[in-house]
Homo-oligomer: A and B are copies of this chain.
Amino acid sequence: MAKQKKQPRPKAITPKGFRDYFGTEVTERAEMLQKIAGVYHRYGFDALESSAVETVEALGKFLPDVDRPNEGVFAWQEDDAKEGQDWLALRYDLTAPLARVFAQYRNDLPTPYRRYAMGPVWRNEKPGPGRFRQFYQCDADTVGTSSMAADAEICAMLADCLEEVGIPRGDYVIRVNNRKVLEGVLEAVDLANVSNPNGPPDYYDDMGEWQANILRTIDKFDKVGEQGVRDLLGEGRKDASGAFIDGIGLSDAQSEPVVAFLTSKGVNNAETLQNLSSAVGSSEIGYEGIRELEEIIALLNAQNYQADRIIIDPSVVRGLGYYTGPVYEAELTFEITDDKGRPRQFGSVAGGGRYDDLVRRFTGQEVPATGVSIGVDRLLSALHAKGRMDQTAKGPVVVTVMDRSRMADYQAMVAELRTAGIRAEVYLGNPKNFGNQLKYADKRNSPAAVIQGSDEHDKGIIQIKDLILGAKIAENATYEEWKERPSQFEVPRDQLVAKIREILDGQD
């Protein structure tokens, strides 16, 4: 055998932009996903777990005239693969795989197909603070129906999910908007008569191009506000850095319906719909969008979801350029304190909408679909921010080792505890230094330690140390309290399980 070259030691690092999750970070997310899956299931949605790897062709991330997949995906070339299947990539979301799966299995799947999917996705992007290149998505979509009942159902389900994971009613609102209403507004804008000070006239020879520009501007409403949108629709504005951003050249009158749309939210849904009606004027598609919103609200009311949970809000613009009909967004309305100590609203934790070209890329057929994606990591951090998560991980009861030759006795103790359903373990490190054993128990967030030296063994007893109480007492108890509430108990060996249970119950 050839001798291997001496290699330098590898670095033990998580790749840049990736992270590891420990203990409760893993189990809290798993519990949340399980609760959400329970709601999805109750609504008739079926689980789908597609492979993490897709052909780049199926993902559609191959740009023409480029010999590598474009940015945003982690991709590699397969050896000995067929033309078109030679590049593989990690999925960047759960919707592209759904499109592929539905196209592939459409003859076997029920239609409409309600499916949910949960799992990691990968983005080959520059990582930033709190932005990772692997993160969880948690989606539910209904494929193959244009019925507004599908959209209404997903809004109701979203509300149920939030309550199921611990966001009480009143602390969230689901806002619904509709791309078609906006399109009606654009029809109401007399685009043919636009003067454009910034570009050559033939740049805007295409109405679609115009609409796309207005959509892009509207997508900035969250960031730049009403006046900002007015400026960007008109002659332009200075951004924060002082650079001048060209506007798209609408007159004030022409911008008006767009701004009216964005700000048309009334005191109730009826007033909002009234405002929207004036904004779209006689546009047919605009009218259709309003009718859709009315239908969604009527269906939700029939299921007892009222305006305290789900409302029409035309200021919801996220994704308006991407979706084709209703869009929805779940926002948490309680205040949290941000990094700089300022109060702010927590904001969006889920969003979705209707998109009607899901599988056309594969089959040429238009298949209507609507769906939602819940940002589980944001939702978890919201629950933490509200103090609705038990921050301390429940560690195991630690049975210490006083006498190495009696390991079997200690094992018998943990076996009893485990059989009783109590999390427990024997200290398995070097038992020589007893202090190290208690330090270990501390690091493990152990609720209690069990101690049995030769003396105790001969007397048939054990010592149990309540570590939570002990820590509390050490921190702030008076001498009297300390004397009255001992944190260490001597009990007969056969009362191990009973006494530990008593201590655990007292700590809850």
Contact = CB atoms under 8 A, between A and B. Distances in A.
Contact of A12 (B104, B395, B409): B104
Nearest to A303: B415
A10 B57 contact: yes
A478 interface: no
Contacts of A421: 42
Contact of A53 (B15, B27, B49, B299): B15
Contacts of A57: 10-11
Interface stretch (A106-114, A178-186, A308-316, A349-357): A106-114
Interface stretch (A148-156, A165-173, A251-259, A328-336): A148-156
Given A12-B99, A15-B51, 14 more contacts: A4-B64, A9-B361, A12-B362, A15-B85, A25-B47, A30-B34, A30-B37, A44-B396, A112-B428, A145-B428, A152-B411, A302-B415, A303-B415, A304-B412
A19 B51 contact: yes
Given A53-B15, A361-B9, A299 B429 contact: no
Contacts of A407: 147, 149, 299
A485 interface: no
Given A15-B54, A51-B15, A440 B110 contact: yes
Contacts of A424: 42-44
B21 A104 contact: no
A411 B122 contact: no
A353 to B, nearest CB: 16
Interface in A173-231: none
A75 B65 CA distance: 24
Nearest to A62: B7
Number of copies: 2
A58 B18 CA distance: 14
A468 B7 CA distance: 65
Interface of A: 4-5, 7-16, 18-27, 30, 34, 37, 41-44, 46-55, 57-58, 60, 64-65, 74-76, 81, 84-85, 88, 90, 99-101, 103-105, 110-112, 114, 120, 122, 133-134, 142, 144-145, 147, 149-150, 152-153, 156, 160, 298-299, 301-304, 359, 361-364, 393, 395-396, 398, 407-409, 411-412, 414-415, 418, 421-426, 428-429, 440, 443-444
A134 B47 contact: no
Given A302-B408, A408-B299, A145 B110 contact: no
A429 B58 contact: no
A436 to B, nearest CB: 9
Contacts of A444: 44, 110
A150 B133 CA distance: 36
Nearest to A399: B44
Nearest to A156: B415
Contacts of A23: 46-48
A112 to B, nearest CB: 5
Contacts of A425: 43-44, 114, 153
B58 A12 contact: yes
A213 B376 CA distance: 51
A122 B53 CA distance: 10
Contacts of A422: 42
A267 B98 CA distance: 56
Contacts of A156: 415
A88 B15 contact: yes
Contacts of A133: 53
A22 B49 CA distance: 6
A49 B21 contact: yes
Given A18-B51, A27-B47, A111 B429 contact: yes
